[in-house]
Amino acid sequence: IVDVSNRALPTLRSTVNPVPLTIFHSSVWSANRLFACTSRGLAVINVATPTAPVVERTIEVEDGLAECVLAGSLLYAAKGTYPGGFTVFDLSVPSNPTIVRTFDYSINGCVDLEIANNLLYLSAYSGVYIFDVSNPTQPAHVTGLDSPWPEDYDDERNMLMLDLVGSTICFAQSERGVHFVSTPTGWAPTSRDPFINARRCLHDSYVFNTNLSANPSTDLTYQWTKNGVPIPGATSPTYVLNDLRGVDRATYACDATNACGTRSSSFAFLNICPADLDDGSGSGQCDGGVTVEDLLFFLFIFEEGNAIADLDDGSGTVTPDGGVTIDDLLYFLVRYNVGC
């Protein structure tokens, strides 16, 4: 900590290193504290008394932190190594920051960070990545800018220093110069969170919901797909499947469109488990596992000809045929043996 009240004669007041063998990459100032992003994570240093700084808290972050930027009570800190991304900290209690979200994203070499109008700009060797952080718990990568010097990609000399001036993005490279480009005015719909694979039982229900960042966010259209094929009539933000059958076992996704274009969501595989029929209560309530209770329950309903035992028509596709036959028993035994 250096006193520069006399700029002609700066004076060293104190030094502090919260964790030995730590590299300081960047820091921000708030509430008489220095929030330092280091090779080990985040350090909170109280400098209310400049001659006697106090380390109040250190938060270890795997692979460390590089650049950081403050927006209100939130600190955005880029991850220090590949695959990259950033961590969001809540500084509402300055002496005790908490992690709001860690967002992993494939970025090679974070160099600089800026934030404005709920958009986080992250520069790297390959260009500038732009994230919608209007909901800091669910960021979304919405667009980006390629480096104007692609021949230097993966070269450490291509470190793009970044700054925002009004609606202009300025990024500079030490051996190339400065490049200016306007901030984006819109982007195609982008999923905030990827869909996740799921496993459900026969006759269950399942709901897919979109959670998008889009600009403009009006006049959005949707088209759900099943195994890559558009589903007729599935054109709303939510897709509901009721009374699940074997034919519903598939990979699902959603294509969303606005004035800026169309983007597809991630894919999610919905697995239907025909061998999970009972939790041991005899009520026909599945429990997420295949056990001897399922075998006993199936044998009981098969013996009485219950329609629930109508699993397959002999094709092995979990297609019921309106009757309870030996095909259903054989199919169940196969699925029971493989565990789903």
Quote the CA–CA distance of 185 and 187 in Å, as a whole number.
Answer: 7
Q: Which residue has the higher pLDDT, 22 or 66?
A: 66
pLDDT range class, residue 152, cuts 50, 70, 90: low
pTM of the model: 0.78
For residue 139, the model assigns a pLDDT of 93
| Distance separating alpha carbons of residues 312 and 328, to the nearest angstrom | 5
Runs of H (alpha helix) within the chain: 292-303, 326-338
Mean pLDDT of 269-279: 90
**Residue range 294-308: average pLDDT?**
92
The whole-number pLDDT of residue 155 equals 54
Q: What is the pLDDT of residue 82?
A: 73
| 27-46 tens-digit pLDDT | 999 999 999 999 999 999 99
Average pLDDT, the chain: 89
Domains belonging to the chain, first-starting first, are 2-183 (2.130.10.10), 190-272 (2.60.40.10), 274-338 (no CATH)
pLDDT of residue 235: 97
From CA 157, how far away is CA 91, in angstroms rounded?
A: 34
Q: Rounded CA gap, 157 and 149, in Å?
A: 11
Q: pLDDT digits over 87-126, tens only? A: 999 999 999 999 999 998 887 777 789 999 999 999 887 7
Give bridge partners of residue 206 from the DSSP assignment: 241
Distance between CA 153 and CA 173 in Å, rounded? 12
Predicted confidence at residue 151, as pLDDT, reads 60
pLDDT of residue 154: 53
Q: Which residues pair with 264 in a beta bridge?
A: 255
- The radius of gyration computed from the CA coordinates of the chain, to the nearest angstrom, equals 28
* Portion of the chain with pLDDT greater than 70, in percent: 97
Average pLDDT on 77-86 reads: 84
**Whether residue 153 has pLDDT greater than 70:** no
Strand ranges inside 39-176, DSSP E:
41-46, 54-60, 65-71, 74-79, 85-90, 98-104, 110-116, 119-124, 127-132, 140-146, 161-165, 168-173
Which pLDDT score, from 0 to 100, does residue 140 have?
93
Mean of pLDDT values over 323-340? 92
* CA distance linking residue 115 with residue 336, whole number of Å: 54
Question: Residues 139, 192: contact at Cβ < 8 Å?
Answer: yes
- 103 or 154, which is more confident: 103
- Output the pLDDT for position 156: 55
pLDDT value of residue 138: 92
**Block residue for tokens 């098969």:** 302
pLDDT at site 46: 96
Q: How confident is the model at residue 159 (pLDDT cuts 50, 70, 90)?
A: low
Closest among 142, 89, 137 to 119, alpha carbons compared: 142
Q: Report the candidate in 253, 297, 305 with the shortest Cα–Cα distance to residue 277.
A: 297
Query: Pairing between strand 268-273 and 198-201?
Result: parallel
Positive or negative CA dihedral for 175, 163, 87, 14?
positive
Average pLDDT score over residue span 302-319: 89
Q: 302-326 burial, b if ≥16 CB within 10 A, otherwise e?
A: beeeeebbbbbbeeeebebeeebbe
Which range of 127-131, 160-164, 222-226, 279-283 scores highest in mean pLDDT? It is 222-226
More confident residue, 92 or 171: 92
Percent of the chain with pLDDT over 90: 58
Identify the pLDDT of residue 150: 64
